[in-house]
Structure 1
Amino acid sequence: MPVLEIADPAATTLGPLKIEVTFPDNRAAVVDWTREPQQRLLRALAAELAASCAVGQGTGSPYTLRNRARSCREWARWIASTEDVDLRVSDLLPSHLDRFEDHLRERHPESSRTPYARIADIVWILRRLSDTHGGFSPALVRRLAYISAGPVGSYTPRDAYSPHVVEQLKAAARSDVDRAIRRLTVEGPSLLSRGQDPRVAGWASDANVVWEIHQKRGQFTRQELADQVGQTVADEHSPGRLAPLLYPTTRDLFALLLLFCLESGMEVEAARELTAGCLKNPNRGYVQVEYLKRRRHGQEWNTIRVRDGSSHSPGGLLRLALRLTASVREITGSPALWQFRTKEGSLTTGLSASAVTYLAKAFVYRHGISDAGQPVELRMSRLRKTYKAAVYKVTGGRMSAFVQGHSPDIAAAHYADIPSLRDLHEQAVADGLHDALNEARSPSVLTPEAEERLLQRPAEAPELLGVSPTEAGSLLSGESDLWLSSCRDFFDSPFGVKGKACPVSFFGCLGCGNAVITRRKLPAILAFLNHIEGERAKMPEAEWAERFGGARQQILRLVLPKFSESDVLSAQAVAESADPLLFLPSILFGGH
């Protein structure tokens, strides 16, 4: 709650004047005007500014509070330089605003927005005071009807990044994410499983040091290791190098955050504050994302509905973040989504705005992102504009027929990739077609390349899938999704009577010619494979083979080999966002 320290209003001498605010998300800010001039005026402004920090009252973040406090402080200092007495709000005249604005415009270039912004802050607070307390002169009330009589200053609107730049951003981020997935779900756990207590087995082993890092819950540093066994061993088996095998780094999370903003269009300030419980109501290939938008006063909590399933979808990216940050969240107990281990060994529960700005610069430098031969200035605030521009191109082009039956928001979330951008996170664009063991009784497995081909050339749907372009749109968009696949016609099942719903169980899709399996269904298929192996220990082998053997063989021999190792690992990480997989078949990693 906002706290304002001021003296008793009846006192003749004003006491300390300080605003201490803790916002609903526990971010704190302090504004100290103890030594500023014009204490009577500032006391009234401070009381109203503190009140505006309550939920829905207009000052929703430390950043906004500090900006408005700075405007008031500059105004008070200017008044002190022009007046011989301490003013009360009832003493204010229109000239106190107009002359201050003239003063600001003399100090700043003609193109600067600063004079307008400062006056806008002061007018905003005075309007609140006028509404709640009154006491202003009629002339000042009339003056508060507008903000400024002068120009706002030149302003260049944020522009979208070009497809060439977006292609580089997505490719670089995807490579960082793929490395993080392999490191945190394969390499790190594998090394940890071989580790032993270094006090018994010795410290000169990466596996044993990783074991110790895990036992210390990530908070084991190079200096602590050096204190025990010397600098040489600490340099060779540094916890700073090994801890990222168990805990995500800022580099990992920034890549996920960048991809999520590019794919969903969510404002970066809202995306940074997502929590582990942000995914709501998954249904038919979509999921709702609950987020906090502080600028929407009175309606801060909102949801957007986005595509889900594939690790390239907004929902899948958040599930990847949930999986990769699970180890840190378990230790900290914080619901924040973007949690990581710092190089110094501490566990941190959020990405600040300044950290994201720094990481954006480092990301561009590390990957050599350039435009017209010059390094790109990566501003996260431009990602939403970039997303919107892509949506405009898609819905204005030949793929617009695919958005029929969807709201604009859902169409934007699913069709944001135009041809020039799609190449970014699709490793290759090539023809792909289902390879059924038995065409009449086996599902069609649509590779990412074949799926892209259908998106670009829907007229080929009859040849590739045996359905019309309109029906192909339903299969690719998720409208026809069941749990493990999409269905060409749920009321024309080869196992039932035409016109009636399919009578077989959900995993019957794995042996049905009506089924179409795409990359977005991989997480569900891997989760089902995990369930199959869990059931194996609960029933006789013959009964298990009769019930699940066929489905298992379809998954391992027909479905998984059609997808790249990167796609399968990403899907595995998404599937593990709720429960770790018990069964990791060797086929996932290139074995036999």
Structure 2
Amino acid sequence: MRRLAHTSAGPVGSYTPRDAYSPYVVEQLRAAARSDVDQALRRLTLEGPMLLEQGQDPRVAGWDSDANVLWEIHRSRGMLTRQQLAQQVGQSLADEHSPGRLAPLLYPTSRDLFALLLLFCLESGMELEAARDLTSDCLKNPNRGYVQIEYLKRRRHGQEWNTIRVRDGSSNSPGGLLRLALRLTVAIRETTGSSALWQFRTKEGILTTGFSTSAVTHMARRFVSAHGISDESRPVELRLSRLRKTYKAAVYKVTGGRMSAFVQGHSPDVAAAHYANIPSLRDLHEQAVADGLQDAFNEARSPSVLTPEEEEHLIQRPIEAGQLLGVPPKEIGPLLSGASDLWLSSCRDFFDSPFGTKGKACPVSFFGCLGCGNAVITRRKLPAILAFLNHIEAERAKTPEAEWTARFGEARKQILRLILPKFSASDVLSAKAVAESLEPLLFLPSNLFGGL
């Protein structure tokens, strides 16, 4: 109902939020980022350490070896630059064994960590500003495949520390992605002494301790260009600030718009205005309206089924007839005594049918009561209903399926899903025995015999 209320209320204010990325774009982003991360893992955990083991002090073993130059890069904690190397060994060797090419075997690059940051935002839904400021001790209380992430939430009037609980363990989970980032940045963090999570080495040999807004924008453009990510043949304009909307939209769709699962980190009004009121969710909202109207229509067409306990309660307290059945207390007697009986139910008003004109007799077939809001079904009508169920099942064997479904399908569904589950197994068993012991004509409405 909150979805219907939000849809009918319209947008809050005049602000139109950015839309989420389409599933097609998201899959491209996810695949490209995962490719970059996998390459970084192989380079930093296998290729780099293997080459480093082969290296020796280049002052003794010579500078004409990648392994030896990498040894020196490691000794200098990543600070060796091509200019410094050129001063020692000349420009030719410095170009051939460039620290800019070799250092990424030991230290992550901005491209490596950008891919990890992108994947983390896609999988966790954390705001970009908060994700950029994560620290190396942000993982708290791991337990049974989940972990808490402590982060700094920036607000209009200040900052506060929050935590979210996310999946952990696999390299595709939010917790697992942060563990990968911790593994890849350990060498830089030991050098800088900073607790910032996203630390990398630039081509110029500078060890950075975070992503600036301009750096993220620049890397996003390079990422899209390098991987050829497009939407309808046009390059995607990648803004990491839209990834939270993309995550929220996916949650919204999976939960069918259930606001309690959607508002994490926001008030319901903010969640609705900024994350639910976006073009990519319009179809879901329109379907919610259609579903709501269909539910209301179905409810109007469904009979009221009284259990024996409810029937007894109304006999004792007819004043509650309006609340339970929507009829005046004086009308409860005929409904429960049988005076208002038709074949399969009692009828609130045979001359005020939702299928006909007020003042005229109900025009639908004798079993139309099973789809009528005027009908009231009690235990007394179970034998007739079960006899009718036997009849329509017998008709199924000798009637084309499409014809049988059109004539009896909805009635059968109402009996099996709405009516019989309201009664005890004992009541149904007794009614079945009665139905099987009587001739079918005895179940015709008594008013058909009035002229006999």
Match of 1:209 in 2: 69
Matches within 5 A, 1:156-305: 156-295=16-155, 297=157, 300-305=160-165
Matches within 5 A, 1:367-516: 367-396=227-256
1:309 matched to 2:169: yes
Structure 1: runs of 5+ lacking an equivalent: 1-151, 411-592
Return the alpha-carbon distance in structure 1 between the equivalents of residues 122 and 146 of structure 2: 17
Once the two structures are aligned, what percentage of the paired residues are identical? Answer: 80
1:326 to 186, 198, 203: 186
Give 1:350 shift: 0.9
Aligned length: 253
Return the alpha-carbon distance in structure 1 between the equivalents of residues 139 and 112 of structure 2: 20
Return the alpha-carbon distance in structure 2 between the equivalents of residues 195 and 189 of structure 1: 10
Give 1:280 shift: 0.4
**Paired residue type of 1:238:** S
Give 1:383 shift: 0.4
CA contact (8 A) 1:165 1:371 kept: yes
Return the alpha-carbon distance in structure 2 between the equivalents of residues 310 and 228 of structure 1: 45
How does the TM-score come out when normalised to structure 2? 0.54
How does the TM-score come out when normalised to structure 1? 0.41
1:301 is paired with a residue whose SS is: strand
Match of 1:97 in 2: none
RMSD, matched Cα: 2.3
CA contact (8 A) 2:139 2:148 kept: yes
2:155 is paired with a residue whose SS is: coil
1:344 matched to 2:344: no
CA contact (8 A) 2:248 2:262 kept: no
Return the alpha-carbon distance in structure 1 between the equivalents of residues 160 and 204 of structure 2: 35
Give the number of the structure whose residues are more often helix, by fraction.
2
CA contact (8 A) 1:305 1:409 kept: no
Matches within 5 A, 1:93-172: 155-172=15-32
Return the alpha-carbon distance in structure 1 between the equivalents of residues 183 and 210 of structure 2: 16
Q: Which has the higher contact order (CA 8 A, sep 6+)?
A: 2
Return the alpha-carbon distance in structure 2 between the equivalents of residues 377 and 363 of structure 1: 10
1:219 is paired with a residue whose SS is: coil
Give 1:156 shift: 3.6
Runs of 4+ in 1 over 6 A off after TM superposition: none
Match of 2:363 in 1: none
**Paired residue type of 1:276:** S
CA contact (8 A) 2:28 2:229 kept: yes
1:244 is paired with a residue whose SS is: helix
Give 1:409 shift: 5.6
Larger Rg: 2
1:281 is paired with a residue whose SS is: strand
Q: Deviations over 1:316-350 (max 9, x none)?
A: 00000000000000000000000011111011111
1:276 is paired with a residue whose SS is: coil
Return the alpha-carbon distance in structure 2 between the equivalents of residues 322 and 173 of structure 1: 17
1:335 to 195, 212, 228: 195
Q: Deviations over 1:48-103 (max 9, x none)?
A: xxxxxxxxxxxxxxxxxxxxxxxxxxxxxxxxxxxxxxxxxxxxxxxxxxxxxxxx
